[in-house]
Structure 1
Amino acid sequence: MNTIPPTRRFALLFVGITVLEIGADVAQIQWLHYASKPLIVGLLLGWSWHHRAVGGRSMTVLRVGLAFALLGDIFLMIREVDLFALGLASFLVMQLCYCVVFGMRSAGQRIRPGTVGLTALPFVVYAASFLFILYPAFATRPALRELWIPVIVYVACISTMGLMAALRRGANGYGPVLAGALLFIMSDSAIAVNSFLTPFSGSTPLVMSTYATAQYLIVTHIHPEK
Structure 2
Amino acid sequence: MNTQPPTRLFRAVFVVVTLLEIAGDMGQRQWLHYGTKPLIVGMLLVWAWRHRTVGGRPMMILRIGLVFALLGDIFLMIQEVDLFGPGLASFLFMQLCYCAVFGMRGAFQSISLAMFGLISLPFALYAGVFLMILYPAFTANPALQGLWIPVIVYVGCISTMGLLAALRRGNAGYGHVLTGALLFILSDSAIAVNGFLSPFPGSTPLIMSTYAAAQYLIVSYIHPRQ
TM class by shorter chain equals over 0.9
What does residue 61 of structure 1 align with? 61
Structure 1 pair 85–108 and aligned structure 2 pair: CA distance change class (3 A): closer
Q: Distance in 2 between matches of 1:146 and 1:34?
A: 28
1:95 maps to what in 2? Answer: 95
- 1:5 Cα deviation after fit: 1.7
Distance 2:31 2:2 in 1: 39
Structure 2 residue 225 is matched with structure 1 residue 225? yes
Preserved contact between residue 109 and residue 169 of structure 2 (Cα < 8 Å): no
Percent identity between the two aligned chains: 71
**How far off is 1:190 after superposition?**
0.2
For 2:207, the equivalent position in structure 1 comes to 207
Counterparts of 1:60 and 1:117 in 2: how far apart (Å)?
30
Q: Distance in 1 between matches of 2:88 and 2:162?
A: 17
Q: Which amino acid aligns with 1:92?
A: L
Alignment of 1:10-25 (within 5 A): 10-25=10-25
Match of 1:83 in 2: 83
Cα distance in 2 for partners of 1:91, 1:107 equals 22
Deviation (angstroms), 1:32: 1.1
Partner of residue 183, structure 2: 183
Q: Do the aligned partners of 2:108 and 2:171 also contact (CA within 8 Å) in 1?
A: no
Structure 1 residue 59 displacement after superposition: 0.2
Q: Is the 8 A contact 2:123 2:163 kept in 1?
A: yes
CA deviation after TM superposition for structure 1 residue 138, in Å: 0.2
Residue 206 of structure 1 aligns to which amino acid in structure 2? Answer: L
Q: How many residues align?
A: 226
Counterpart for residue 33 of structure 1:
33
Corresponding position: 1:47 with 2:37: no
TM-score normalised by length of structure 1: 0.97
In structure 1, what is the Cα distance between the partners aligned to 2:171 and 2:120?
18
Which residue does the alignment assign to 2:71?
71
Q: What does the per-residue CA deviation read over 1:70-105, in whole Å, with 9 as the maximum and x for residues that have no partner?
A: 000000000000000100000000000000100124
Q: Which residue of 2 aligns with 1:158?
A: 158
For residue 110 of structure 1, report the CA deviation from its aligned partner: 2.7
Structure 1 runs not aligned, ≥5 long? none
Match of 2:122 in 1: 122
Q: Secondary structure at the match of 1:225?
A: coil
Residues 143 and 108 of structure 1: is their aligned pair in 2 closer, same or farther, counting only changes over 3 Å?
closer
Compute the TM-score of the two structures, normalised by the length of structure 2: 0.97
Root-mean-square deviation over aligned CA pairs: 1.2
Q: How many angstroms does 1:109 deviate by?
A: 3.7
Indicate yes or no: 2:170 matched with 1:170: yes
Structure 2 stretches lacking a partner, 5+ long: none
Task: Report the Cα offset of residue 31 of structure 1.
Answer: 1.1
Give the 4+ runs in structure 1 shifted more than 4 A: none
Q: Deviations over 1:42-80 (max 9, x none)?
A: 000000011111110100000000000000000000000
Whole-angstrom CA distance in 2 between matches of 1:182 and 1:192: 15
Q: CA deviation at 1:112?
A: 3.4
